[in-house]
Amino acid sequence: MIDLLQHTPVLLDSVMDVIAPKKGETALDVTLGLGGHARAFLEHVGPSGSLTGLDADAENLTFAWERLREWATQTTLHHVNFRNLSSLNLQPVDIVFADLGLSSPHIDDPHRGFTFREDALLDLRFDRTQGQTVAEWLHRVTVKEVSRVLMEYGELKGASKLAEALKNREPKTTFGVVDAVKEVTGWRAPSVLPQVFQALRIAVNEEMEALDLLLEVAPRLLKPGGRFGVLSYHSLEDRRVKQAFRSLTTPVKNEMTGAVDQEASFALLTKKAIVPSSEEVNKNQRARSAKFRAIVKTHSHS
């Protein structure tokens, strides 16, 4: 069993300071995980507030429900990937929050295939009830597609050689991937493997497409004064969040005169990304690469 008391949510104090949940507010946590951030939101919004939580992983929902049990009457959980947010027909909320990191069970349970340190079936899906595993994906796609994924999502140099090795072997297990990477990169393998696994994971879970949809839909769900915060863990995610937030908070100007035609509907709550202190990273290694950005809905356009 996972020790929920030992589980530390990333940048928890910073998230609460910036998002500043108030009594009676409604929060939407689109990446519930083990419910760490959700629990803090519920503590702040009090008995008159409420929380809706989503997670693509049914197992996470079971753990989170245990952690949030005392707020059962004001909590609603959905087993759904946030890419399908618009299909839930939710009412406008005061807070939307996303933590794009892997949840602890994904890393801690070697059978999920997220870690290359133990041998397991090559799965890497967040939602094991649907979609294809990495092993199935590798069997189906071309060398060119594997190479694109490694280059784009793993930001790897020499992706084509790695792609060929992976396609030649079509590994069924995590150690099969390790062998293919070692074959190509030799002693550099330990530094390359995290990028390879990141790329494969992003591809089978279609994480970038899901994030683009979230960045489009979530701002529309906010009430005036509502806040939207995102925790990201690598430059691909952070770049997307930064660009989306910049476009939402930039007024539309007249091309001829330079005068503002339309005020922006949102303002930045974080001038630049908030990162964890060295103290937090020492306590929680998983916070190492985290960046937090947030915006607030200033007013509605009719």
Tens digit of each residue's pLDDT (9 = 90 or more) over 217-231 = 999 999 999 999 999
* pLDDT the model gives residue 119: 74
* pLDDT the model gives residue 7: 65
Strand order in the sheet with 266-268: 75-79, 50-55, 26-29, 93-99, 222-232, 291-297, 266-268
Q: How far apart are CA 62 and CA 34, in angstroms?
A: 9
Which structural domains are found in the chain, ordered by start? 12-99+208-297 (3.40.50.150), 112-205 (1.10.150.170)
* pLDDT the model gives residue 22: 98
Between 71-75, 167-171, 217-221, the lowest mean confidence (pLDDT) is in 167-171
Q: Tell me the pLDDT band of 97, cut-offs 50, 70 and 90.
A: very high
Q: 301: which 2 tokens? A: 């356009």
* pLDDT the model gives residue 300: 62
Average pLDDT over residues 222-246: 95
pLDDT of residue 105 exceeding 70: no
Residue 267: phi and psi, rounded to 5, are -130, 150
pLDDT of residue 194 exceeding 90: no
* pLDDT the model gives residue 2: 45
Q: Tell me the pLDDT band of 25, cut-offs 50, 70 and 90.
A: very high
3-state SS string over the chain?
CCCCCCCCCCCHHHHHHHHCCCCCCEEEECCCCCCHHHHHHHHHHCCCCEEEEEECCHHHHHHHHHHCHHHHHHEEEEECCHHHHHHHCCCCEEEEEEECCCCHHHHHCHHHCCCCCCCCECCCCCCCCCCCCHHHHHHHCCHHHHHHHHHHHHCCCCHHHHHHHHHHHCCCEHHHHHHHHHHHHHHHHHHHHHHHHHHHHHHHHCHHHHHHHHHHHHHHHEEEEEEEEEEECCHHHHHHHHHHHHHHCCCEECCCCCCEEECCCEEECCCCCECCCHHHHHHCHHHCCCEEEEEEECCCCC
* pLDDT the model gives residue 55: 92
Average pLDDT over residues 153-174: 89
Which single residue is written with the structure tokens 């770049």? 239
Share of the chain above pLDDT 70, in %: 91
